[in-house]
Amino acid sequence: MPFVRAHIRRGESRQYRQAILDNVYQALRETFNVPEEDQFMVVDEYDPDNFIFSKSYMNIARSDKFVLLQLTVSNTRSVEQKKALYLRIVERLAEQPGIRAEDIFINLVEVEKENWSFGHGLAQYAQ
């Protein structure tokens, strides 16, 4: 059920963008118990003047490869799981497509389980 939105600079290859999505999905599978096939994601590409990010906040040196990930997820994970997710995303994106740990920003938006409908107008996760 996570819905993932990746924000990046315009101009990266299809393979690069695909690698971001695939590895975020795999990190969610590994740390957030996301079921197989549960993959719903978009990439928003920005020209530089529509994508502003601090190049130094928290003494982290960000570059033009900066990726801002906003993940909407159910509110069922512990703080430890969240920390594990962040680390796993960073590890995986370092390998493919090769993004520095400094360039990965992650934000989780949490919602109730009944706040999802995967089709047919049903609330498949409601109790």
Active-site residue set: 2
Of the candidates 36, 43, 34, the residue with the CA atom closest to the CA atom of residue 73: 34
Calpha distance 96→123 (Å, rounded): 35
Within 43-102, which residues bind a copy of itself (CB under 8 A)? 43-46, 49-54, 56-58, 60, 62, 68, 70, 72, 79, 82-83, 86-91, 101-102
Q: Is 124 in the site for a copy of itself (CB under 8 A)?
A: yes
Calpha distance 32→70 (Å, rounded): 15
Q: Is 17 in the site for a copy of itself (CB under 8 A)?
A: yes
Task: Pick between residue 88 and residue 97 the one whose CB is nearest to a copy of itself.
Answer: 88
Q: How far is the CB of 98 from a copy of itself (least distance, A)?
A: 15
Of the candidates 53, 48, 51, the residue with the CA atom closest to the CA atom of residue 103: 53
Q: For a copy of itself, what does the binding mask look like between residues 23 and 52, x meaning CB under 8 A?
A: ------------x-xxxxxxxxxx--xxxx
Cβ pair 54, 62 in contact under 8 A: yes
